[in-house]
Structure 1
Amino acid sequence: MTDKNPSTDKKKQATNWPKYSILMSVYQNDQAEFLDRAIASMFAQTVPFDEFIIVVDGPILETVQAVLDQHQGRIKLLKLENNVGLGSALNYGLQHATNELIVRMDADDISLPERVEKQLAYLVAYPATEILSANIEEIDCFGQSTGLVKKMPVTNTEIRQMMVYRNPINHPAVVFKKSVIEAVGGYQDLYHHEDYFLWVRLFEQGHVFGNVDEVLVKMRMTQDSLRRRQGWQLFQSSTYLSRYMLTHTLMTRRQYRRRQGIYLVKTMMPVWLLKKVYQLLLRTKC
């Protein structure tokens, strides 16, 4: 089975861009229509991929399997018998990736055609950067823009400052170096905080972050997406992360108390109010 992109764009290939592997995970709640669009957006990249890895995290819908079957020979499918969660599934995919540069993609989002090209250009211009994401535009279940953008800080210093209170990296838009992720033990299980916890541990080791200051990915945001950001279990995960940062001198006690207060309110408020908070305080207009 070949996992190479059959697309031939001589202009882009002649630029000698670094080779990269796309890493995606699908599971039982993913929808076929969204997955099909997500995959199509990666095949439409102006710089073709060298490898496309999709980890099937346990049982999936027949319609989702049908979408994957359509791409046999063009993607590398890795199947897990049981659902192990996003972090463990991505670790499994990383083990099978042949390239140092990994481009993350979620199964229900859409990458703009020049997403990878612009991120590769950034990494070529700033080679010290090891983890790079970008701004994302939120879309609804119909693929229509909500008019909101999740804008991230740009410099390593600004990212470090935000990390104390919020996740400063958009996981669906991230590109990173495989060796760097593996050096800190990869993703670790922490309910809905697998990526955030990874960034914290990477910062602790002095790795360099960056964000491209423009929208490169459209992220699907639904009522279910908001519900996943609520509840006692999520607050417990946040508390674990706060304590980690405190005990590893990544935040002060004052910052710890403030962060705990913010997350207690955020995870316990009703969905309609949480939606308003995101719209008014945590997002910018397109």
Structure 2
Amino acid sequence: MRASVLIGAFDSAATLPRAIDAVLTQTVADLELIVIDDGSSDDSAAIAHAAAARDPRVRVLEMGRNVGIARSLNAGIEAARAPVVAVQDADDFSAPQRLERQLSVLDRWADVAVVGCRMREVDGAGRELAPRTTFASGDVRKALAHFNPIPNTSAALRRDAVLAAGGYDPRYCYAMEYDLWLRLAERWRVVALDEVLATRVMGSANVAARAERAQTREAIAIRVRALRRRRTLRGASGLVAPVVSYLTPMTVKRARRRRLGQAP
């Protein structure tokens, strides 16, 4: 088996069928899909079980109650059978060749632990948006000091490296992948492909929309913790942009994004 793909679902019935289909139609067929139902109150679990009945590659992991993204993804990583674990949010979807391209990097370079990609951004109706997420390609370890260029939903991870690092830290609710990338980058390379291999839906349920300030606050705390862990001030200038963003009123930021054609 080449890859285990994790879809974390919490009240995601409206978009989960599309997310499941995007995984099962990958050009890499030798995979498993683990749908993790994080205590949904809608039909998410039923949709996942129906997919498992149709396709033996699908497994359903029910958390029983809402435990949060970090804990649910950690459970999925523990349950995964493949050496590579990819993540796709339940409201996003991937291009058919996404896994093929990311696996080629991990197969070629044994020192790479995370592979991300460029993402399209669309609104809830599927209309194209100007990118709001900042991107960097290649080895992004230096970029990580300033921002997170790899959204969790675009990442493919080397499972043994993630387990050795302790997985996602459940103290974080909104920026847990950024913390994990920074920890992995201390021992591994972290790479982003300059190819559009996934689509991010920037709707009202998106973390960037409903909890932007909390996400920014977590990102600041994560960077400070990384500087302390490494016992250096190198990269401390990367704190400037998120602090400015945190202090900027939301009304100002949203007005600017409307002018740029970005998600609010």
Scaled to the shorter chain, the TM-score interval is 0.7 to 0.9
Q: Tell me the equivalent position of 1:145.
A: 128
Instruction: Give the deviation of 1:119 after TM superposition.
Output: 1.6
Residue 154 of structure 1: aligned partner: 137
Q: For 1:165-199, what per-residue CA distance to the aligned partner results, in whole angstroms no more than 9, with x for missing partners?
A: 20122211111111000001000021311100001
- The answer to whether the Cα contact below 8 Å between 2:49 and 2:60 also exists between their aligned partners in 1 is no
In the alignment, structure 1 residue 230 sits paired with structure 2 residue 209: no
1:36 to 17, 20, 23: 17
Residue among 173, 176, 181 paired with 2:154: 173
CA distance in 2, matches of 1:97, 1:201: 21
Question: Post-superposition shift, 1:277?
Answer: 5.5
Q: 1:34, CA displacement in angstroms?
A: 1.4
- Partners of 1:130 and 1:280 in 2: how far apart? 37
CA–CA separation in structure 1 for the residues paired with 2:52 and 2:33: 11
Specify the alignment match of 1:5 in structure 2: none
**Which residue of 2 is the match for residue 210 of structure 1?**
191
What is the distance in 2 between the residues matched to 1:38 and 1:214? 19
Structure 2 residues not aligned, in runs of 5+: none
1:277, 1:250 → 2: CA distance? 37
User: Which of 166, 178, 201 is residue 196 of structure 1 equivalent to?
Assistant: 178
- Does the residue aligned with 2:129 lie in a helix, a strand or coil? strand
- Helix, strand or coil at the partner of 1:46: coil
Cα offset for 1:42?
1.0
CA distance in 1, matches of 2:189, 2:32: 25
Please state if 1:187 is matched with 2:168. Answer: yes
**TM-score, normalization by structure 1:** 0.80
Q: Deviations over 1:126-181 (max 9, x none)?
A: 3432210100000110122214374632232xx12211120122211111111000
For 2:242 and 2:132, the matched residues in 1 are separated by 21
Matches within 5 A, 1:1-286: 19-28=2-11, 30=12, 32-62=13-43, 64-73=44-53, 74=55, 75-148=58-131, 150=133, 152-156=135-139, 159-189=140-170, 190-204=172-186, 206-225=187-206, 226-231=208-213, 233-249=214-230, 252=233, 255-256=235-236, 258-275=237-254
Give the letter aligned to residue 220 of structure 2.
T
Structure 1 residues 239, 49: CA separation in 2 closer, same or farther (over 3 Å shift)? same
Partner SS state of residue 54, structure 1: strand
CA distance in structure 1 between the partners assigned to 2:209 and 2:134 by the alignment: 21
Distance 2:257 2:190 in 1: 24
How many residues of Structure 1 are paired with residues of Structure 2 in the alignment? 256
Name stretches of at least 5 consecutive residues in structure 1 with no aligned partner.
Answer: 1-17
Shift in alpha-carbon separation, 1:209–1:279, aligned structure 2, 3 A? farther
Q: What is the identity, as a one-letter code, of the residue corresponding to 1:188?
A: D
* Structure 2 CA distance for aligned equivalents of residues 235 and 81 of structure 1: 30
Identity of counterpart residues, as a percentage?
A: 24
Inter-partner Cα distance in structure 2 for 1:276 and 1:165? 24
Q: Report deviation, 1:103.
A: 1.4
The answer to whether the 8 Å contact 1:25/1:57 transfers is: yes
